[in-house]
Amino acid sequence: MIDIAIIGGGPAGQAAARQTLGAGLSTTMIDEQARPGGQILRQPPAAFAVKGWMAGRLYRPLRRLLAQTEADIRLDWRGGTSVAGIERIEDHFRLTLSGAHGGTLLARRVLIAAGCYDMPVAMPGWTLPGVMSAGAVQTLLKSQQVVAGQPIVLLGSHPLLLVLATQLLDAGAEVAAVLMPQTYGRMARAVLPYLAGAIFTPGPLIAAGAAMARLRRAGVPMMMGARPIGFTGDGRLEAVDYAWRGQVQRIAAQAAAVSYGFLPQSDLPRQIGAAVRWARPAGGWETVCDGAMRSSIPGLYVAGETTGVAGADAAMAEGEIAGIAMALDAGVRPPSGMARAQARRARLQPFIDLLRAAADPGEVWPQATPETLLCRCEDISVAQVEATMAQLSPMADASAVKHRCRIGMGLCQGRSCEHALVRRIAAARGCDPDAVTPFRMRFPARPIPIDEIIG
């Protein structure tokens, strides 16, 4: 039995490990990637030297933490491994692992710092090959130095698109346009209340301004108030349709990167029954925790995007808090003090609020048509889901809809479509998504080869 299992090798998990290792606690870190870094510092394969990789100033603290993590021989690193199951047994936890380091792992305390994933957004043509999430396009770029396709159109409400656009330009890609549905005026009104507070963490704001200047210099149309309608093409993406000043416009593209926000990874907290709540602004389920990152399950801690999407700096701060809390709760002394770590996290909040307000897809959500697939694993359309809902009591939960039309019953087990279904049920009922009972998360959190289970 180990003292600490950390699920996720991103900034939160790494920062927590500094504290638990420093306090002398045996610590195992599990991640689906072969190397630590998380999505923000998604590393190239070890045999793959990339000159000037992630050189930006904003990435500097993250790179320093990553170097410390990789150099720390006390850390039991288990890459290429998924956590498929988590259970609490008496006073400890049992994790069921799958992949490179399969088997079970017993730990006295567990930190889930599993990050977030791109919110899939169902709109006409979204399942055409060539239509990708912004995160996927960025991962290909960071880890494999591959441009997903060009010309590429970036679209959605999330300012990450600006960062991605500059990274694509740096890689020499032809960026056809950046389409954001918010008008300048709307975005300005949304962010204004947070601007004064965010001025204490000016880095990301300066970066956003620099990114826009860079796009302008490169001649990339940056269109605020352009509302994406859908994707067309014969067997693969050929063009993106959008509404601009009351007219439908079409722009040719071989690839599209979509970003309306991110969903917290909450499969494991939900599987073990930790309290979650509807995340704002994009949706999905974030894990509830106290000021020391303790979840509602004794001995289970959460940090980073799992607790609500707030970016890598917040993840790093929360991971540090969780690491300190785990050490203190275990009765040993961590290297850093709790109060300072909590203050560091608190300073970030105004910028997080600003970013959330700027990225809010609330009023600019793309419209699905009845034929649009909501569940792409099982090919279930909006019309099928609506027809099923119409036959059920208005109080029916997400599982009741699922059992009748198979939405969410495929390989991804609802990771892709559950948020959209919950939103639809809430809209039909006229209630908050928080009031809708979502799917029940079950073992395994990822599909596992049966061969591997049997052994």
Instruction: With beta carbons less than 8 A apart as the criterion, state whether 34 and 46 touch.
Output: yes
Is 63 near other proteins (CB under 8 A)?
no
Among 411, 427, 431, 435, binds other proteins (CB under 8 A): 411
Judged by CB under 8 A, how many residues of this single chain contact other proteins? 32
The minimum distance between CB 395 and other proteins, in angstroms, equals 5
Closer by beta carbon to other proteins, 46 or else 450: 450
Closer by beta carbon to other proteins, 241 or else 397: 397
Is 430 near other proteins (CB under 8 A)?
no
Is 406 near other proteins (CB under 8 A)?
yes
Q: What Cα–Cα distance (Å) separates residue 351 from each residue in 79, 146, 209?
A: 32, 31, 15
d(CA 32, CA 83): 8
Is 386 near other proteins (CB under 8 A)?
no
Q: Which residues does 128 contact at the CB level (< 8 Å), separation at least 6?
A: 231, 232, 233, 235, 236, 237
The minimum distance between CB 112 and other proteins, in angstroms, equals 18
Distance of CA 54 to the CA centre of its chain: 19
Among 403, 429, 431, 433, binds other proteins (CB under 8 A): 403
d(CA 43, CA 426): 39
Q: Which residues pair with 131 in a beta bridge?
A: 256
Instruction: With beta carbons less than 8 A apart as the criterion, state whether 34 and 179 touch.
Output: no
Q: Which residue has the tokens 């039909």?
A: 428
Task: Kindly identify the residues of this chain, within the stretch 436-455, that bind other proteins according to CB under 8 A.
Answer: 440, 442-444, 447-451, 453-455
CB atoms within 10 A of CB 53: 15
CB atoms within 10 A of CB 140: 18
Stretch that binds other proteins, among 159-167, 213-221, 292-300, 408-416 (CB under 8 A): 408-416
Is 432 near other proteins (CB under 8 A)?
no
Task: Kindly identify the residues of this chain, within the stretch 95-114, that bind other proteins according to CB under 8 A.
Answer: 96, 104
Closer by beta carbon to other proteins, 28 or else 413: 413
Q: In what order do the strands lie in the sheet with 152-155?
A: 131-133, 255-258, 152-155, 175-180, 222-224
Six-digit token string for 86:
């988590």
Among 92, 94, 347, 376, binds other proteins (CB under 8 A): 94
Is 413 near other proteins (CB under 8 A)?
yes
d(CA 387, CA 438): 19
Is 395 near other proteins (CB under 8 A)?
yes
Stretch that binds other proteins, among 125-133, 170-178, 182-190, 388-396 (CB under 8 A): 388-396
Binding-site ranges for other proteins (CB under 8 A): 85, 87, 94, 96, 104, 378, 391-393, 395-397, 399-400, 403-404, 406, 410-411, 413, 440, 442-444, 447-451, 453-455
